A and B are shown apart, each in its own frame.
Chain A
Amino acid sequence: AQRVTQPEKLLSVFKGAPVELKCNYSYSGSPELFWYVQYSRQRLQLLLRHISRESIKGFTADLNKGETSFHLKKPFAQEEDSAMYYCALTQGGSEKLVFGKGMKLTVNP
């Protein structure tokens, strides 16, 4: 069965500190991996997806198939990065997203 695990529910850092939001998945095929973000009072939106290999708002994520991980990283956190972050996957050809439970990132001034 497909499963996405975000082992930490909360992360609090100071502005300028590096952040790493962990995501592990279990899936037998070749999944598409995503990070979605929800800022306060805003709707859930895509942050990045592994297939595009882009860096969005300074965030990057590398798919490690050996460790079945897709950790999200940013070298210098900003206060505006404070939000809920969800890791998610889809199976090939499907629009169905399987989400992790989410992690709240707080960046303090």
Chain B
Amino acid sequence: DVKVTQSSRYLVKRTGEKVFLECVQDMDHENMFWYRQDPGLGLRLIYFSYDVKMKEKGDIPEGYSVSREKKERFSLILESASTNQTSMYLCASTDREQETQYFGPGTRLLVL
């Protein structure tokens, strides 16, 4: 079974803090994705990566950056957290042969 894990289920941070969200997959997948999910807006793509050290902006990259130093790990970074970044963050991965994205359990982030 594909397993995608995220470092935290719940996080509470203060405005202006730097926040790291970690995602690890154990299936040697090339492609990894970060989404945020908000009521009424569905899943929105922040960034994705199709290889180590490669990254592409998604639909809403502003205020975020990412890092992919190892194939299994994809990190989402909020350089200076703001209250409008309070959300559910979901990581997903897939390999080049498949198109199904497998999701982690999500991190619910609250920025105060």
A and B: bona fide binding partners: no
By a beta-carbon cutoff of 8 Å, the part of chain B in contact with chain A is: none
